[in-house]
Amino acid sequence: MPNNKLEKIVSLCKRRGFIFPGSEIYGGIGGFYDFGPLGAELKFNIKQAWWRDVVQMRDDVVGLNAAIIMNPKAWEASGHVSGFADMLVECSKCHIRYKADDMPDKCPECGNKLDNAKARSFNIMFKTFVGPAEDTASVAYLRPETAGGIFVNFKNVIDTMRVKVPFGIAQIGKTFRNEINPKDFIFRTREFEQMELEYFVEPDDSGRAFDEWVGLREKWYEQLGLKNIRKHEQSKEERAHYSKATIDIEYEFPFGWKEIEGIANRGDFDLKSHSEYSGQDLSYTDKESGEKYLPHVIEPSAGVDRIMLAFLCDAYTEEEDRVVLKLHPRLAPYKAAVFPLLKNKPELVSKAHEVYSLLAKNYSLGPIAWDDRGNIGKRYYSQDEIGTMHCITIDYQTLEDGTVTVRDRDTMKQERVLAKELTNILKEKVG
Ligand code: GAP
């Protein structure tokens, strides 16, 4: 892949309203990004595809939406207060700080040699205070993963829902890590979103469930058209101390193969530790056999922003005279755009508005774009660049026989169809 591919994607994202640097008018803030109108749609579609496939389509998974700020004891139990740290190296000359396992030999700012031996531990959880007193008793943390909220609600869910092991609790939400070196656009940021599933199983069933989830998660990416993925099994040295096995799904970004999702067999570490720290019995009783035990956990954990970057990199295509974002129909921000052939002909504009309203009313098609600027060729170019699946033009023939042209983003082929049948035709194409 060309090295400048990432730069082109960053530029497209800024130019076309996908992703802006955070707080840009104030000079930005490192590691934070704002998602513009099209980025918000793309992110929403990724989360919706995950929620639909991992939660709503399964009778053994329920969803959750827990608070970002939790009782700090929860983060002591999970090991984050004592151990969620990166090793930090500071340049002795210009005092710029680097993540030790990811640093160059020499400081890129001043050329000074960096010394790994002087690395010190730095906890990457963001701290805040709850209430008006800023003292140690009121310290709290912005959650560094969404998983914590799931474990502390395990008892609430088994007490209120008709769940039976094996079952899962899933959550999508904001996560915060005070990364030493945020980098590679939205690949490593300080505020991001995670989509996590904690799947609870009988201890003896964890190997089978782990393999099943690895397969399901790999298939999920493939079904959404993501190419260039592979699996990487973490060695004992790489994985967390409680993990019995971890497989990462990696994507080949323009800056190399990198993890987009990790699937871990966490054993009973989490429920055991939260039982000890909270003093609550978090064991599960099988209603049929009466057996009481702490379930083991399989955790597929993915980052929305990272996956979004992978989909953008994969979809970005330069053809002879156009740039196209070949996003999967489920992910494309716009499933269709509606154009009146000429904007100064009221009869065409009014008919186009009619078609637009017909499509926009249909929830499953998502937002529909409207474009009446420039010539049709320029409008096609502009919609291709943001991944719009279909461009629909209302012309003089529409006024005579009620047909419109539908142009396909990938093949660029056009067909004439009846406007009143458009909703069904598009629904079929979009899936
Ligand atoms: N509960 C397990 C957990 O949080 P993780 O490997 O630290 O595991 C899971 O994170 C996923 O979250 C990663 O695969 C990645 O997609 C995403 N992620 C982690 N740190 C990130 C960061 N600083 N910026 C963007 N995404 C991040």
φ/ψ of 204, rounded to 5, equals -75, -15
The residue whose CA is least distant from atom 26 of ligand 1 is: 303
What pLDDT shows up at residue 364? 85
Residues with CB under 6 A from ligand 1: 145, 147, 177, 179, 188-189, 192, 194, 196, 259-262, 301-303, 305-306
Torsion of CA 149, 154, 156, 158, to 10 degrees: 150
pLDDT above 80: residue 355: yes
CATH number of 5-78+145-314: 3.30.930.10
| CA of residue 53 to ligand 1 center, whole Å | 20
Peptide bond into 144 cis (omega under 30): no
Rounded mean pLDDT of 95-107? 88
What pLDDT shows up at residue 109? 87
The confidence band for 255, taking pLDDT boundaries of 50, 70 and 90, is very high
Looking from the CA of residue 188, the nearest atom of ligand 1 is: 24
Q: Where in the chain is the domain with CATH 3.30.930.10?
A: 5-78+145-314
Q: Where in the chain is the domain with CATH 3.40.50.800?
A: 334-430
Across 9-24, b (16+ Cβ under 10 Å) vs e yields bbebbeebbbbbbbee
Q: What are the pLDDT digits (tens) for 192-231?
A: 999 999 999 999 999 999 999 999 999 999 999 999 999 9
CB 389 within 8 A of CB 429: yes
Across 169-187, b (16+ Cβ under 10 Å) vs e yields bbbbbebbbbbbbbebbbb
Rounded mean pLDDT of 298-320? 98
CA 176 to chain centre: 14
How crowded is residue 335: how many other Cβ atoms within 10 Å of its Cβ?
Answer: 24
Angle at 27 between CA 22 and CA 33, to 5 degrees: 10
What pLDDT shows up at residue 2? 45
CB 426 within 8 A of CB 409: no
CB 282 within 8 A of CB 271: yes
Give the largest Cα separation in the chain, rounded.
79
pLDDT above 90: residue 118: no
For a ligand 1 pocket test, name from 187, 301, 311 the mutation site with the most ligand atoms within 8 angstroms of its C-beta. 301
The confidence band for 103, taking pLDDT boundaries of 50, 70 and 90, is confident
Average pLDDT in the chain: 95
Alpha carbon separation from 94 to 98, 109, 113, 178, 304 (Å, rounded) = 12, 8, 11, 21, 35
Render 186-250 in DSSP notation, one character per residue: TTB-SEEEEEEEEEEE-GGGHHHHHHHHHHHHHHHHHHTT--SEEEEEPPTTTS-TT-SEEEEEE
User: What superfamily would CATH give domain 334-430?
Assistant: Anticodon-binding domain (3.40.50.800)
What pLDDT shows up at residue 1? 45
What pLDDT shows up at residue 396? 97
Q: Is this prediction's pTM over 0.75?
A: yes
What pLDDT shows up at residue 68? 98
What pLDDT shows up at residue 154? 98
Q: What are the pLDDT digits (tens) for 54-92?
A: 999 999 999 999 999 999 999 999 999 998 988 899 888
